[in-house]
């Protein structure tokens, strides 16, 4: 990827935009870009510098992202709508070509890292409520005021506000190689990409084992009670990032949107989509925060594709899809017969959300019922029946307070899940 058209290799101390920004350390990367912590010598603040790959298609995507982020910033002068702020943008020429660069406000770790820090045990419900409020405020602003669909909402693309004052501690924990490559070696010789891929695979296995009730039954197993501590005493706030795939609701351009596990059924069926696809992904994200597991982790199997598995998992959790909706998409015939039954997965084992939360995740009856009442309408098979972000912000669940006594108690998702897989 570090060739012509690809990533720009950065060394610590490299100047950008005529010396205004100085690279400090790598924060992350995506398919299209690497993101660096940089010092803005003009404002004396730390910023995130997103450096796009240079090939034409990546440059075009970056221009689109800049356009979207600019409208977001224009409509929110006080920067209070829970969406990342674009500060500046410019072009940078390097050995691999010309790279579009975005200067963004510097944020903290992603919710995915938060879930990992909590060892996939889920985050305390009261914190989940605070995080959900932020995401919903961001979505309400995008959907209602701007008519923008994010199309790739997921824990990775929601970042916490850095709770560490970056001016005091800009280089936080961790290794800072002088030249870090996304797919290459690090100082300690390990391959970053391999480690991440392994982690992702492990995570996907867990989630599959968990929700895939068609193949799984309940198991026992105990692990010492442990609660999420890393957010103790912190006012939790976050912002939505990564507008590389965002689109205007009145001109959707891609047919296949969203990351697989967060993809709404109307996208799989090609029935057309709108802002409500983000509400589906939001519900999947909230579930993952609260349980540590992906809500749906589809996998192809003998005689069925991952799309079919996905539809089956969704129905096992939410009930049968109404026939009209099932057969209403351009792709419906690939999956459903004319009665609205899946062609290749005939036996579904239903496990409703509130029961799953109690039986699998050991939620108290009341926590489970309340959380399921919050999530289920967002997972309506009819996209137009899903509550909007604005309506969702009014939901009583967001202002409930759990004692914390009954949640997060000694669940053993991994053990139970893996055992079920072997049965």
Helix, strand or coil, per DSSP, at residue 156: helix
Our finding on whether 285 is near ligand ADP (CB under 6 A) is no
d(CA 250, CA 197): 36
28 interface partner picked from ligand ADP, Mg ion, none, CB below 5 to 8 A per type:
ligand ADP
152 among known catalytic residues: yes
- By CB under 5 A, name the one of 109, 140, 242, 407 that touches Mg ion: 242
* Residue 314: both structure tokens together: 């969704």
Our finding on whether 32 is near ligand ADP (CB under 6 A) is yes
Q: Which residues contact 422 (CB under 8 A, 6 or more apart)?
A: none
Q: How far is the CB of 419 from ligand ADP (least distance, A)?
A: 33
Q: Where are the beta strands (DSSP E) in 226-327?
A: 238-240, 247-248
Sign of CA dihedral 336, 338, 341, 345: negative
Helix, strand or coil, per DSSP, at residue 168: coil
50 is known to lie in a ligand binding site: yes
d(CA 291, CA 21): 40
Is 124 or 180 the residue whose CB approaches Mg ion more closely? 180
Our finding on whether 182 is near ligand ADP (CB under 6 A) is no
Our finding on whether 33 is near ligand ADP (CB under 6 A) is yes
- By CB under 6 A, name the one of 28, 97, 122, 383 that touches ligand ADP: 28
Give the per-residue contact string, 146-175, with ligand ADP (x = CB under 6 A; - = no). Answer: ----------xx-x----------------
Our finding on whether 115 is near ligand ADP (CB under 6 A) is no
Is 34 or 118 the residue whose CB approaches Mg ion more closely? 34
d(CA 213, CA 206): 13
Give the per-residue contact string, 19-58, with Mg ion (x = CB under 5 A; - = no). Answer: -----------x----------------------------
Give the per-residue contact string, 202-241, with ligand ADP (x = CB under 6 A; - = no). Answer: ---------------------------------------x
Is 49 or 132 the residue whose CB approaches ligand ADP more closely? 49
Number of H helices, E strands in the chain: 13, 10
Contacts 24+ apart (CB under 8 A), 329-333: 329/266, 329/268, 329/269, 329/270, 329/271, 330/269, 330/270, 330/271, 331/268, 331/269, 331/270, 331/307, 332/269, 332/271
- Rounded to the nearest 5°, which phi and psi values hold at 28? 175, -175
Our finding on whether 27 is near ligand ADP (CB under 6 A) is yes
d(CA 50, CA 99): 10
Report CA 418 to chain centroid distance, whole Å: 24
Our finding on whether 244 is near ligand ADP (CB under 6 A) is yes
Our finding on whether 268 is near ligand ADP (CB under 6 A) is no
Stretch that binds ligand ADP, among 8-16, 73-81, 91-99, 102-110 (CB under 6 A): 102-110
Q: Which residues contact 125 (CB under 8 A, 6 or more apart)?
A: 290, 367, 371, 402, 404, 407
d(CA 51, CA 33): 5
Is 30 or 377 the residue whose CB approaches ligand ADP more closely? 30
- By CB under 6 A, name the one of 1, 2, 9, 30 that touches ligand ADP: 30
What amino acid positions are annotated as catalytic residues?
152
Q: Which residues bind ligand ADP (CB under 6 A)?
A: 27-33, 35, 48, 50, 84, 104-107, 110, 156-157, 159, 241-242, 244
Annotated binding site for ATP: 50
């Amino acid at each position: 990827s570090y060739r012509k058209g690809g990533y720009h290799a950065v060394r610590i101390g490299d100047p950008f935009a005529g010396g205004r920004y100085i690279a400090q350390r790598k924060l992350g990367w995506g398919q299209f870009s690497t993101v660096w912590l940089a010092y803005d010598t003009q404002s004396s603040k730390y910023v995130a510098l997103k450096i796009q790959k240079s090939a034409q298609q990546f440059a075009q995507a970056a221009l689109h992202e800049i356009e979207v982020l600019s409208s977001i910033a224009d409509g929110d002068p006080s920067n209070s709508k829970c969406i990342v702020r674009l500060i500046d943008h410019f072009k940078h020429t390097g050995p691999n070509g010309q790279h579009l660069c975005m200067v963004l406000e510097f944020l903290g770790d992603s919710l995915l890292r938060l879930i990992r820090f909590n060892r996939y045990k889920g985050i305390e419900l009261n914190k989940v409520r605070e995080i959900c409020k932020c995401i919903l405020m961001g979505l309400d602003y995008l959907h209602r005021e701007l008519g923008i669909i994010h199309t790739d909402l997921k824990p990775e693309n929601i970042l916490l506000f850095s709770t560490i004052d970056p001016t005091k501690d800009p280089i936080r924990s961790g290794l800072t190689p002088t030249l870090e490559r996304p797919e290459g070696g690090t100082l300690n010789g390990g391959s970053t990409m391999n480690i991440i891929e392994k982690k992702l695979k492990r995570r996907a296995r867990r989630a599959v084992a968990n929700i895939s009730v068609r193949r799984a039954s309940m198991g026992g197993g105990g692990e010492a009670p442990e609660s999420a501590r890393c957010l103790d005493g912190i006012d939790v706030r976050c912002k939505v990032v990564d507008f590389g795939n965002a689109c205007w609701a009145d001109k959707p351009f891609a047919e296949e949107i969203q990351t697989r596990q967060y993809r709404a059924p109307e996208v799989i069926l090609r029935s057309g989509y709108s802002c409500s696809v983000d509400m589906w992904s939001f519900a999947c994200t909230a579930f993952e925060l609260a349980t540590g597991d992906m809500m749906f982790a589809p996998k192809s199997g003998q005689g069925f594709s991952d799309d079919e598995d996905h539809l089956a998992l969704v129905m096992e959790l939410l009930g049968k899809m109404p026939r009209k909706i099932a057969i209403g998409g351009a792709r419906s015939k690939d999956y459903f017969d004319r009665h609205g039954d899946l062609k290749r997965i005939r036996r579904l084992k239903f496990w409703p959300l509130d029961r799953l939360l109690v039986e699998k995740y050991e939620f108290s009856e009341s926590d489970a019922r309340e959380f399921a009442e919050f999530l289920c309408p967002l997972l309506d098979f009819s996209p137009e029946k899903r509550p909007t972000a604005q309506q969702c912000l009014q939901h009583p669940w967001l202002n409930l307070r759990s004692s914390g006594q009954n949640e997060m108690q000694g669940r053993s998702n991994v053990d139970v899940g893996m055992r079920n897989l072997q049965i």
